[in-house]
Amino acid sequence: MLPPGVTLIYTQPGEAFSLYVTVALISGILVAAPFISYQVWMFIAPGLYANERKMAYPFVALTTLGFILGAAFNHYIAFGVMMAFFGSFNTADLAFMPRLQDVFGLYTRMLLVLGIVFQLPTVVFFLAKMKLVTARFLATNLKYAVLIIFVAAAILTPGGDIWGQVIIAVPMLGLYLISILIAWAVNPRGRSRQVPD
């Protein structure tokens, strides 16, 4: 998770203990992700047509997978890259010794943000299944999507720095391109739902 040479310090007596409690809570959320997804589905389901309610199992599976992939991306790639960037300013006069609470708070916020960001293909899958979006629509509006992605990344980035914004925006852009392929696979003819008069 942390790049080599970065040592965390803690200054409060219970700070290290609370780290282990927080890790246990995050692990519990990851294990309970299918149940949480199912509860979200039960909230959405009453507003859907009968044939759309049959998509409960794909919804639970895909949202769970998306959240776990987002958490893994944060743990193995994004957070380490961000910490390596912050640690690169070490000099003879400056020593990077971040506090445990601050670093793990940033880690937790990034995990939640990327867990949500990685839901984009799932959202597009279901919108395409309901014929509300098409691959052509997503591809045509790519330039607007890039703008929206960078604005959303600026809002979602914990800390608000430009490097964190890029780390959030790049996977969002990649997921958007994957979503175009998903929309095409689900609805290759690009038919959209006809709205009745």
When pLDDT is cut at 50, 70 and 90, the band that residue 192 belongs to is: low
Q: What's residue 80's pLDDT?
A: 86
- As given in the structure block, the two tokens for residue 188 are 């290759």
- What the block records as the tokens of 177 is 């391109």
User: Any idea which of 25-29, 36-40, 113-117, 162-166 has the lowest mean pLDDT?
Assistant: 162-166
Quote the distance between the C-alpha of residue 108 and its chain's center.
Answer: 12
Asked if the model's pLDDT at residue 72 lies above 90, the reply is yes
Cα-flanking dihedrals φ and ψ of residue 25, to 5°?
-65, -45
* Pick from 120, 126, 122, 118: nearest CA to 187: 126
**Tell me: the pLDDT tens digits for 153-191?**
888 876 667 877 888 899 999 999 999 999 999 988 766
pLDDT of residue 124: 94
- Tally the residues of the chain: 197
Mean pLDDT of the chain: 85
pTM summary value: 0.82
pLDDT value at position 195? 46
